[in-house]
C-alpha cells in the first residue's frame, strides 16, 4: 500500500492552508509543520506559528514547530551578507528553499515516517517519460509561477514533493476555496517581503548584522573618469538610475563595481546590455551533465521574461549565449534554464 503520509510546510497563510485542505481531499494523511527561522520576521514569528497551529487544529491535523534559527542563520542570512559584501545581489528565498524547506523539512518528514513533503508554492512535479525521471515544471498560474526560486532543490527528492496548487491559474481561486470552506485566512494578505527584513530596509539590516559599513568612494564611468562620490557599494544595484547624486548630459545607470578600488561604475543605458554570461554553483535537475550545447529559455530574475539562449557546460560553470542581449544582468542573482515548461536547472550569475 502506498505511503500517503505528507509533511506540509504551514506559514499560516491562505496558500499553505488551502494546500492542506486539498491534500486531505485527495486522501493524504497530512501533518503540518512550521520552521521557525528568524525571530521577529513575517515568516517565522510567534504569530505565524500560532496562525499555522490554529489552522491545523481547525483541519484536525497535527502540527509540529521546529526551531531552525541556527541553520537559517548559517545557510541563508550568512549567504545574504556575504553576497552584499562581495558586490553581488542575492535571492535569499532560493537558499531557504534549498536548505530549509526542501532540506531540513525533508529530513523531518523522514523522521515522521512521511513519504512526501508539500508546500504552497506555485509549481508542479511529475514523471516525464521523455526524460525517464521526475521533473520540476512551471505551474499553470502564469505570473505567480514560482519554479524560478526552486531550481536549487535536490533533484533526488522531486518525486517526493507535492505542490497542491500546481493546477490553479489565479490566486483568487485559492481564496475562493478558503471562503467556501470557512478558512479564517481566506482574505489574509500575501507577504512579499524578505522574511527576515520585514521593513524592507536591507541596508540597515546589513549594518546591524555584519561589519559592512558605509565607505565613501568614487563613481566612475567605464573609462575610469571620476563623476562623483558614492556612500558604500552595498547601497547600489546594477541597473539603478535614481539616487546616484550626479548630473550628466544623458541618464546614467549603475553598470557594476570595482571592489578593489571601491568604485561604482556607471554608464549609459546601452552599456547595460549583455549577450553572454557565466553561471556557477550550478544544479541540474533534468540531467547529470550538459554534454553538448542546448537551446533553452533563461530567466535571470524572478519577474523577468524568459529569453532564448544556448547553454554549454564547462566543468562547474555554464556559459549562456543569449539570442538577444539582456538588460541589467546582476551577479548573485539566479539564471534558471527551461525547456518548454520543464526546469532543466540553474545557477548563480558570476559575470
For position 100, which CATH number holds? 3.40.50.620
Q: Residue 91: inside a domain, yes or no?
A: yes
Instruction: Give the domain-ending residue among 123, 158, 180.
Output: 180
Q: Give the domain range for residue 136.
A: 5-180
Q: Residue 45: inside a domain, yes or no?
A: yes
Give the pLDDT score at 42: 42
Instruction: Give the domain-ending residue among 130, 158, 180.
Output: 180
- The whole model's pTM is what? 0.93
pLDDT per position as a tens digit, 93-133? 999 999 999 999 999 999 999 999 999 999 999 999 999 99
Choice among 83, 93, 114, 195 that is catalytic: 195
Q: Residue 103: inside a domain, yes or no?
A: yes
Identify whether residues 162 and 37 lie together within a single domain: yes
Choice among 93, 96, 114, 351 that is catalytic: 96
pLDDT per position as a tens digit, 229-278? 999 999 999 999 999 999 899 999 999 999 999 999 999 999 999 999 99
CATH number, domain of 253, equals 2.30.30.280
- How does 325-340 read in b/e, with b if 16+ C-beta sit within 10 Å? ebebbbbbbbbbbbee
- CA dist., res. 298 & res. 3, Å (int): 36
Identify whether residues 253 and 306 lie together within a single domain: no
CATH number, domain of 289, equals 2.40.30.10
Tell me the angle at which helices 171-180 and 14-25 cross, rounded to the nearest 10 degrees: 70
Q: Residue 197: inside a domain, yes or no?
A: no
Q: Confidence band (pLDDT; 50, 70, 90) for 46? A: low
The share of the chain scoring above pLDDT 70, in percent, equals 97
Instruction: Give the domain-ending residue among 245, 267, 289.
Output: 267
**306: which residues sit within 8 A by CB, 6+ positions away?**
297, 298, 299, 338
pLDDT per position as a tens digit, 305-338? 999 999 999 999 999 999 999 999 999 999 999 9
Q: Is 68 among the residues known to form the active site?
A: no
Q: Is 195 among the residues known to form the active site?
A: yes
Give the pLDDT score at 41: 44
Identify whether residues 241 and 263 lie together within a single domain: yes
Look at the chain and report how many structural domains it folds into: 3
Give the pLDDT score at 44: 46
Identify whether residues 25 and 154 lie together within a single domain: yes
- CA dist., res. 293 & res. 312, Å (int): 5
Lookup result for grid cell 510567534: 46
Q: Confidence band (pLDDT; 50, 70, 90) for 187? A: confident
Judge contact between 308 and 325, C-beta under 8 A.
no
Identify whether residues 74 and 173 lie together within a single domain: yes
pLDDT per position as a tens digit, 60-97? 999 999 999 999 999 999 999 999 999 999 999 999 99
Amino acid at each position: 500500500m502506498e505511503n500517503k503520509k505528507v509533511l506540509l510546510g504551514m506559514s499560516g497563510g491562505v496558500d499553505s492552508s488551502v494546500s492542506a485542505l486539498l491534500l486531505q481531499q485527495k486522501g493524504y494523511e497530512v501533518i503540518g509543520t512550521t520552521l521557525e527561522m528568524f525571530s521577529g520576521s513575517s515568516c517565522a514569528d510567534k504569530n505565524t506559528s500560532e496562525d499555522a497551529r490554529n489552522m491545523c487544529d481547525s483541519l484536525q491535523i497535527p502540527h509540529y514547530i521546529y526551531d531552525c534559527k541556527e541553520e537559517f542563520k548559517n545557510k541563508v542570512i550568512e549567504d545574504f551578507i556575504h553576497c552584499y559584501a562581495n558586490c553581488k545581489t542575492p535571492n535569499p528565498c532560493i537558499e531557504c528553499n534549498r536548505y530549509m524547506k526542501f532540506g531540513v523539512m525533508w529530513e523531518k518528514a523522514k523522521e515522521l515516517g512521511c513519504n512526501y513533503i508539500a508546500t504552497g508554492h506555485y509549481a508542479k512535479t511529475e514523471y516525464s517519460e521523455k526524460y525517464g525521471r521526475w521533473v520540476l515544471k512551471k505551474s499553470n498560474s502564469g505570473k505567480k509561477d514560482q519554479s524560478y526560486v526552486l531550481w536549487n532543490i535536490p533533484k533526488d527528492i522531486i518525486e517526493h514533493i507535492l505542490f497542491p496548487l500546481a493546477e490553479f491559474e489565479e490566486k483568487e481561486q485559492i481564496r475562493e476555496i478558503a471562503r467556501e470552506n470557512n478558512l479564517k485566512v481566506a482574505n489574509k494578505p500575501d507577504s512579499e517581503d524578505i522574511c527576515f527584513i520585514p521593513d524592507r530596509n536591507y541596508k540597515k539590516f546589513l549594518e546591524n548584522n555584519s561589519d559592512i559599513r558605509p565607505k565613501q568612494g568614487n563613481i566612475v564611468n567605464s573609462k575610469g573618469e571620476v563623476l562623483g562620490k558614492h556612500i558604500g557599494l552595498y547601497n547600489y544595484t546594477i541597473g539603478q538610475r535614481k539616487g546616484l547624486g550626479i548630473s550628466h548630459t544623458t541618464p546614467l545607470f549603475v553598470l557594476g563595481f570595482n571592489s578593489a578600488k571601491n568604485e561604482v561604475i556607471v554608464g549609459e543605458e546601452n552599456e547595460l546590455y549583455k549577450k553572454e554570461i557565466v553561471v556557477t554553483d550550478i544544479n541540474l535537475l533534468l540531467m547529470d551533465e550538459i554534454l553538448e550545447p542546448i537551446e533553452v529559455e533563461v530567466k535571470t530574475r524572478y519577474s523577468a521574461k524568459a529569453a532564448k539562449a544556448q547553454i554549454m557546460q564547462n566543468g562547474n560553470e555554464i556559459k549562456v549565449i543569449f539570442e538577444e542581449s539582456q538588460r541589467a544582468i546582476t551577479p548573485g542573482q539566479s539564471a534558471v534554464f527551461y525547456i518548454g515548461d520543464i526546469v532543466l536547472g540553474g545557477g548563480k550569475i558570476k559575470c
